[in-house]
């Protein structure tokens, strides 16, 4: 009986984790369709994934006032998405995002420079090997 309950609990926990991950992913994907970000949609990857378009990496434009407002809204929207299911990789990525986006907002770097930095940071986090402390702890009795 206990084993059956444990299996059910693990199944439910796994589904809840997957659903939470899906909520964050779905929220981030939704940013691509959000009209508030139309002025920056061709300059940055709104769903927080790796920069894949070469023109984004070489974009020499600095944000204008309308784009700055969109960037501020984007920061808030990304934070809300990550907070739906705060887990290690999305939180780590968001912290790194927050470390570089002020330079873009303040016009200290271009969209291309931001995208190059983002691409490097994104790859560092998503392609990093799993460290021992990242693995789940199992106790043997």
**CB within 8 Å of 74: residues ≥ 6 apart:** 31, 36, 37, 40, 44, 46
Structure-model confidence comparison of residues 29 and 7, the more confident one: 29
Q: What is the pLDDT of residue 60?
A: 97
Q: What is the pLDDT of residue 140?
A: 55
Give 58-67's long-range contacts (Cβ < 8 A, gap of 24+).
58/112, 59/110, 59/111, 59/112, 59/115, 60/110, 60/111, 60/112, 61/110, 61/111, 61/112, 62/107, 62/109, 62/110, 62/111, 63/104, 63/105, 63/107, 63/111, 66/39, 67/39, 67/40, 67/43
Tens-place pLDDT, residues 119-130? 999 999 888 765
Tens-place pLDDT, residues 23-65? 898 999 999 999 999 999 999 999 978 877 899 999 999 999 9
């Amino acid at each position: 009986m206990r084993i059956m309950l444990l299996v059910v609990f693990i199944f439910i926990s796994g589904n809840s984790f997957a659903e939470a991950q899906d909520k964050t992913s779905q929220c981030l994907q939704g940013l691509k369709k959000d009209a508030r970000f139309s002025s920056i949609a061709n300059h940055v990857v709104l769903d927080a994934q790796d920069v894949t378009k070469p023109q984004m990496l070489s974009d020499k434009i600095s944000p204008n006032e309308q784009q700055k407002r969109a960037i501020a809204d984007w920061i808030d929207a990304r934070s809300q998405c990550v907070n739906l299911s705060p887990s290690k990789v999305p939180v780590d990525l968001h912290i790194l995002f927050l470390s570089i986006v002020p330079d873009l907002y303040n016009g200290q770097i271009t969209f291309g420079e931001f995208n190059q930095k983002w691409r490097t940071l994104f790859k560092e986090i998503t392609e990093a090997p799993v460290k021992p402390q990242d693995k789940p702890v199992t106790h043997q009795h």
